[in-house]
Every structure is written in structure tokens, then in C-alpha cells.
């Protein structure tokens, strides 16, 4: 059996309550539309995978990272990488946030309150250590 350890962070963000903007926001995040430099930057800071879900005006993000990922350091570094600040300004028109807010300032870490087969507690800031056996 091969075990893969990683950290998981869950975050939320509020969109502006405008159906046209929400439709456009979904298009901006559809396959091939997120700027290449933004995705490269996420990989560079240690983000392995990211998924974003939508319910009404609430976004829910699942972000899986390398096991040694330091959320504060990585988000700070990400904000300095190519086109990241430009992307955040671009998508801010959809979000309930200030135009010059960084991703770190807009996305709120969520506290996990239940996990099937949970054996240890972790803080949202430190991520939730996960291990997949396959």
C-alpha cells in the first residue's frame, strides 16, 4: 500500500448577490480560463490541488497542499508572484471585498467540526493532515 500525506484547508468567500456577475465568475473559473501564471504560482507555493464549489453566493474551497505547507508564508509568497495581484483585482468585482484585497484577506479559513474516522484535532490555520492509502 502506498500512503500519500498532505494537508487540507477549507475556505469560504462571499460573492456579490448578482446573478449576472455569478454567471460571469463561473465562466472566469471554467476550464482553461484561469490565468496560467496564477495556476503556476499556486503549484510553486505548494498547492497540490484546489476545488471551488458554489452555493447561492457562498464559495467553498478545498485546497490540498504539501505536508510541510505553511499557510501564512505560502499565501504571502503567492501574493508576490506573477499576475497574482492583478488576478485578485480582476476577480474582486465579483466578490464582497475591497478591490485591493489579497486572496489571503478574502478567503476565510473554516474550522472542521467532523470527519469520518477522525483521530486527531487540527487547527484551521495549520491545515488538516490527511493520509490516503491506495
Name the residue ranges covered by the structural domains of the chain. 3-133
What is the pLDDT at residue 43? 97
Nearest 10 degrees: CA dihedral of 125, 34, 83, 56? -50
CA–CA distance, 81 with 83 (Å, rounded to integer): 6
Mean pLDDT, residues 23-49 taken together? 97
Distances (CA, A) of 41 to 56, 73, 111, 129: 28, 13, 25, 22
Specify the CATH architecture of the domain 3-133. Answer: 2-Layer Sandwich (3.30)
Percent of the chain topping pLDDT 90: 68
Q: Beta partners for 54? A: 59
Amino acid at each position: 500500500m502506498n500512503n500519500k500525506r498532505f494537508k487540507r484547508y477549507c475556505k469560504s468567500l462571499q460573492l456579490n448577490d448578482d446573478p449576472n456577475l455569478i454567471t460571469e465568475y463561473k465562466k472566469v473559473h471554467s476550464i482553461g480560463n484561469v490565468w496560467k501564471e496564477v495556476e503556476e504560482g499556486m503549484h510553486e507555493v505548494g498547492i497540490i490541488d484546489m476545488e471551488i464549489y458554489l452555493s447561492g453566493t457562498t464559495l467553498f474551497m478545498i485546497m490540498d497542499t504539501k505536508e510541510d505547507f505553511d499557510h501564512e508564508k505560502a499565501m504571502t509568497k503567492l501574493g508576490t508572484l506573477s499576475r497574482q495581484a492583478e488576478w485578485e483585482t480582476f476577480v474582486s468585482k465579483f466578490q464582497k471585498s475591497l478591490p485591493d484585497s489579497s486572496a489571503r484577506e478574502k478567503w476565510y479559513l473554516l474550522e472542521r467540526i467532523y470527519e469520518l474516522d477522525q483521530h486527531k484535532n487540527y487547527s484551521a490555520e495549520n491545515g488538516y493532515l490527511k493520509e490516503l492509502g491506495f
